Amino acid sequence: MLEQSRRVAVFSGAGLSAESGVATFRDPGPDALWSRFDPTELASPEGFAADPERVVAWYNWRRGRLAAVQPNPAHRALAAQTRLIQITQNVDSLLEQAGASADRVYHLHGSIMRDRCHNAACDHVETVDLRNPPPLRPCPRCGAYLRPAVVWFGEALPQDVWRQAESLCRQLDCLLVVGTSATVYPAAGLIEIARAAGSRVVVVDPNPGVAGGQADLALAGAAGDVLPALLEGLDLDSGS
Ligand code: APR
């Protein structure tokens, strides 16, 4: 199906980074983040307003864990497809660390590698050292708090990135969906958008779940096992 597809893109989620040791959000079992932590407290503007120090400390804890991990075979297999566009919900930079060119990775939910000013009218942004992330501090430009440059529940996605992803998903022959529960919108809506535009959908996930229900083919396995075998010898293109 991939060989017959002129235009292919990838839509990924936390499962892509699971084999690198990065916790997913909703997997069964004790490690999933949202079974250990409350997203309304830690990943919402309300939670930040209530206790900004706690929120920044939690993201810095995640940054410390990310500093200790490496891309896995799934990241490397995807990055090797240099003409592919990677649409990802992940805020880590493991695809880029695996060699994917930054302009071909669309981060729908932002990046944990940066802080930005919480004041919507101020566009101050800073790169953060994962090994030594700074605590809560004011923006040097406007004095409002700096916060992780990720998209919290109730916040809009970066519109330029969303428009690019949506427009691409309307022009595909095949969308490869990797490691997402496909339950968080508007990102999960890209699968429906692609299908409605005539694209095939291939899902790679040990528990295909919701995304599996929208798939032409569901490969029920770990991305680190399936993707190297699936993509070997292919030269896929997103056509843009
Ligand atoms: N390979 C492939 N898929 C995997 C693997 C693996 N090794 N391990 C787990 N998965 C799958 C799970 O079966 C599940 O379908 O990855 C998916 C992870 O789902 P979630 O934890 O819900 O993560 P995601 O879909 O990325 O969450 C979407 O929710 O919390 C917000 O902003 C956050 O971007 C995130 C969004």
Q: Does residue 182 have a pLDDT over 70? A: yes
Q: pLDDT averaged over the chain?
A: 97
Regarding predicted confidence, which is higher, 28 or 92?
92
- Joined together, the tokens standing for residue 88 give 């990802």
Distance 211 CA to ligand 1 centre (A): 11
- pLDDT the model gives residue 109: 98
Residues that are catalytic: 109
Question: What span, in angstroms and rounded, lies between the C-alpha atoms of 88 and 110?
Answer: 9
- pLDDT the model gives residue 25: 97
Number of residues that make up the chain: 240
The atom of ligand 1 lying closest to the CA of 210 is 15
Distance 31 CA to ligand 1 centre (A): 12
Count of beta carbons in the 10 Å neighbourhood of residue 126 = 14
CB 111 within 8 A of CB 147: no
Distance 162 CA to ligand 1 centre (A): 19
CB 25 within 8 A of CB 14: yes
For residue range 44-93, list pLDDT tens digits in order: 999 999 999 999 999 999 999 999 999 999 999 999 999 999 999 999 99
Give every CB contact of residue 136 below 8 A, 6+ residues apart in sequence: 52, 53, 56, 57, 145, 146
The residue with tokens 């969906």 is 177
CB 219 within 8 A of CB 226: yes
Residue nearest to atom 34 of ligand 1 (CA): 89
Span 32-54, average pLDDT = 97
How would residue 210 be classed by pLDDT, with cut points 50, 70 and 90? confident
- pLDDT the model gives residue 21: 96
Question: What span, in angstroms and rounded, lies between the C-alpha atoms of 157 and 161?
Answer: 8
Span 185-211, average pLDDT = 97
Which residue out of 180, 190, 204 has the highest number of ligand 1 atoms within 8 Å of its CB and is therefore the one to mutate? 180
Q: Does residue 209 have a pLDDT over 90? A: no
For residue range 94-129, list pLDDT tens digits in order: 999 999 999 999 999 999 999 999 999 999 999 999
Q: Locate the DSSP E strands across the chain.
A: 8-12, 85-88, 105-107, 110-117, 125-127, 146-150, 174-178, 200-204, 217-219
CA of 225: how far to CAs of 3, 76, 219, in Å?
19, 12, 11
How would residue 166 be classed by pLDDT, with cut points 50, 70 and 90? very high
The residue with tokens 């005539």 is 198
In percent, the amount of the chain with pLDDT more than 70 equals: 100
Distance 142 CA to ligand 1 centre (A): 36
Q: Does residue 240 have a pLDDT over 80? A: no
- pLDDT the model gives residue 125: 98
- pLDDT the model gives residue 30: 85
- pLDDT the model gives residue 185: 98
Question: What span, in angstroms and rounded, lies between the C-alpha atoms of 39 and 147?
Answer: 15
Span 159-186, average pLDDT = 98
Question: What span, in angstroms and rounded, lies between the C-alpha atoms of 22 and 51?
Answer: 25
CB 98 within 8 A of CB 79: yes
The atom of ligand 1 lying closest to the CA of 207 is 13
Q: Judge residue 16's burial from the number of C-beta atoms within 10 Å of its C-beta, 0-12 exposed, 13-18 middle, 19 or more buried.
A: buried
